[in-house]
Amino acid sequence: MEAFIWEVQRRANIFPGSVAHAAIRDTDIEGYFVPKGSLVISFLQEILHNETDFPDPLRFNIDRFLDTDGKFVANPKVMSLIVNICNATTSMLF
């Protein structure tokens, strides 16, 4: 059931952007230098429909979130990018 919910959320993606953040220190995000004070906005549409991480991204497929035993597993690429952007390198802007 959890894999179904994650795939629905990935595929529906009703909000393709994210909340704006500002870098609180000089940092590196996936090889890109981000100076302190820079505005950081992740484009979730690109993450959730990236063909490298989600082959045939427009096709609904809960197997993306299941291991070989049929148990739920989160996609580490998606989680690491979101955590890297939000984890102590940025501060939310409202």
Domain boundaries in the chain?
Answer: 2-92
- Supply the pLDDT for residue 94: 42
- Residue written as token pair 């505005």: 39
The pLDDT tens digits for 23-80 are 888 988 778 898 999 888 877 788 888 898 899 999 999 999 999 999 999 887 665 4
Within 10 angstroms of residue 63's Cβ, the number of other Cβ atoms is: 9
| Length reported for the chain | 94
pTM of model > 0.75: no
7 to 11, 59, 68: CA distances (angstroms): 6, 10, 17
Specify the pLDDT at position 62: 93
Is 73 strand, coil or helix?
A: coil
Instruction: State the pLDDT at residue 90.
Output: 53
CB atoms within 10 A of CB 40: 19
